[in-house]
Amino acid sequence: MKLHCDVEVVSRHLPALGMRNRGKGVRAVLSLCQQTPRSQPRAGARDDRGGPHPTCLLISTLKDKRGTRYELKENIEQFFTKFMDEGKATVRLKEPPVDICLSKANSSSLKSFLTAVRLAHRGCDIEAPLTTFTPVKTSEFEKFKTKMVITSKKDYPLSKNFPYSLEHLQTSYCGLVRIDMRMLCLRNLKKLDLSHNHIKKLPATIGDLIHLQELNLNDNYLESFSVALCQSSLQMSLRSLDLSKNKIKALPVQFCQLRELTDLKLDDNELIRFPFKMGQLTKLRFLSAARNKLPFLPSEFKNLSLEYLDLFGNTFEQPKVLPIIMLQTPLTLLESSAQAVLYNRIPYGSHIIPFHLCQDLDTAKTCVCGRFCLNSFIQGTTTMNLHSVAHTVVLVDNMGGTEAPVMSYFCSLACYVNSCDMLK
């Protein structure tokens, strides 16, 4: 029985000696081996008293293919399995006093392996076949590939799975029309490059890749980016997203919940607007949305702090002279309630209030004074120099301009009057 993972063996004597472990595991093959009197294990072997021979844990690495043995019978002090679903666990041995830290393992394989280790600790029979004390072959470590690049159809694996240890996978120019579900089992994946394919839709299960930091979907046929993805674990992990050269017309309001984003590429789409809560992407540093159909920018765009901004080739409109007035006097009960919920940050969801009310709250506009408004507002357009939000700005047109129109909202006539200088 074998387990492929990263292993770090930490001596518990190190802190007492004023030393620290290096904190990084190495690729290893863990094997459960049964020791016979001649050290030639065989499945189902028995000792002289008729019981099963003790089972050992053998840890083999590329530098030490013969491996290091650890006795298991009545030799385990504690198991640490809180993060087993993430492929991590620790086995604390009594003798020698070491912690065997496992990571980057297949979660189901890890559970099965630890179950067998527990049985070995108790001295019970293990139903799974046990291996022999033979050196591990170099080919075993090829399963530990962390990077795979495929750039043609003929190289795409059809009959075998991707190595589960992959952290970087690129499958470009492979003619994919949908995302291969085998990719979604790669729990260690940090970078996924699916550029230059024919993908039309993204499955929500991409959000299950809890370590995914970079997602490249450049040059596909995408028409949307789903709300489910925006509300998945990508909120905590995704740093870089490339959606350029697709057919996306708008991004959902919930897109701004991907608050770990630092790099966002949206060039060569059909965008007619940005999410109006764009300012919530406080970690965003690189934004490129050239050659779209943006008529204006949302008012919260002013809250961004970018290093690089490219909005060249958009169809920006000239600011309107007269504002659009949609004030309601007195405010409706819906408007007043929505303002109270948002101002006091009262949690809400479709399990509490009707779904359409959740949508209203999600799409509420923000006045320049910080108050919220649903259907009662004044809408006005102003221009903004893009250098106020970005250090480096690509010219928005061939005339050398760096200004773009911004749509602003006002909750009252007083707010509009106070801001009239800005709207001139």
* pLDDT score, position 8: 92
SS3 content of the chain, % helix, strand, coil (to 5): 20, 25, 55
Rounded to two decimals, the pTM is 0.69
Partnered with residue 225 across adjacent β-strands are: none
**pLDDT, position 190:** 94
Cβ-proximal residues to 144 (8 Å cutoff; 6+ apart), any chain = 4, 27, 163, 165
Count the Cβ atoms, other than its own, within 10 Å of residue 257: 19
Please give the DSSP secondary-structure letter assigned to residue 111: H
Cα separation of the two ends of the chain: 75
Q: Residue 243 and residue 241: Cα distance in Å, rounded?
A: 6
pLDDT digit string, tens, across residues 235-256: 999 999 999 999 999 999 899 9
The predicted pLDDT at position 139 comes to: 65
* pLDDT computed for residue 41 by the predictor: 40
> Is the sign of the CA dihedral 237, 303, 401, 295 positive or negative?
positive
Stretches where the chain sits below pLDDT 70 are 15-23, 35-53, 128-133, 138-144, 420-424
**What are φ and ψ of residue 298, in 5° steps?**
-70, 155
In whole angstroms, what is the distance from residue 289 CA to residue 263 CA? 11
Tokens of 315: 């169809």
Q: How far apart are CA 403 and CA 393, in angstroms?
A: 10
CA-based torsion, 227, 232, 235, 238: positive or negative? negative
Which is nearest to 406 in space by CA: 320, 282, 288, 284? 320
